[in-house]
Amino acid sequence: MLIETERLILREMNFEDFDALYGILSDAETMRHYPAPFDKAKVKSWIDRNQRRYKEDGFGLWAVVLKKTGEVIGDCGITLQPIHGEMLPEIGYHIRRDLWRNGYGSEAALASMKYAFETLKLSAVYSYMKYTNAASYGVALKNGMRFVEEYDDPVNIKTRVYRITREEWLNRK
């Protein structure tokens, strides 16, 4: 699996990406909307889990590589997530903090969305986040997702859900 955009490559993550991913996922500000930043064990299991997803589901969170430098600057991709009691395909993303607001998050998410509709032939994809995560829903809105609902959740207090359907994707072009 390899997706190329104007500035990025999305490819399967592996243990050679550990240091780059640990740098991103252990950062307190980046993980502000999560229960806690990831420690080394959590990053290892993050890589393990995504490698399992590639085999079992045919997709997962991929490493985001900046073409200009070859560095891994984040992760982005599609995973099955429990959203309001249902397992649904979700587009998720983390970008290295010093590179925020350059459009990389939305570029990677849009490429994942294209893959979801054109390769996986999914009928809809979702993004969900803690209600305070404006950057996360900013990416969803920028890429044409629409607000679906906000529900109470013990981890996030309130979880917001955004979605784009295949029909909306096709009409968007």
| Site residues (vs ligand COA, CB under 6 A) | 30, 33, 92-95, 100-106, 129, 133-136, 138-139, 142
Closest approach of ligand COA to the CB of residue 92, in Å: 6
The residue whose Cβ lies closest to ligand COA is 138
Burial of 144 (0-12, 13-18, 19+ CB in 10 A): middle
Provide the Cα torsion 141, 147, 148, 154; round to 10°: 90
Measured CA to CA, the distance from residue 119 to residue 121 in angstroms comes to 6
Q: Which is nearer to ligand COA, 5 or 165 (CB)?
A: 5
Q: Are 159 and 81 in contact (CB under 8 A)?
A: no
CB of 130 to ligand COA, least distance (A): 7
Helix (H) or strand (E) holding 123, with range, is none
Name the residue nearer to ligand COA (CB basis): 35 or 55: 35
Whether 48 contacts 60, CB under 8 Å: no
**Least distance (Å) between residue 3 CB and ligand COA:** 16
- The nearer residue to ligand COA, 100 or 151, going by C-beta atoms, is 100
Is 22 or 93 the residue whose CB approaches ligand COA more closely?
93
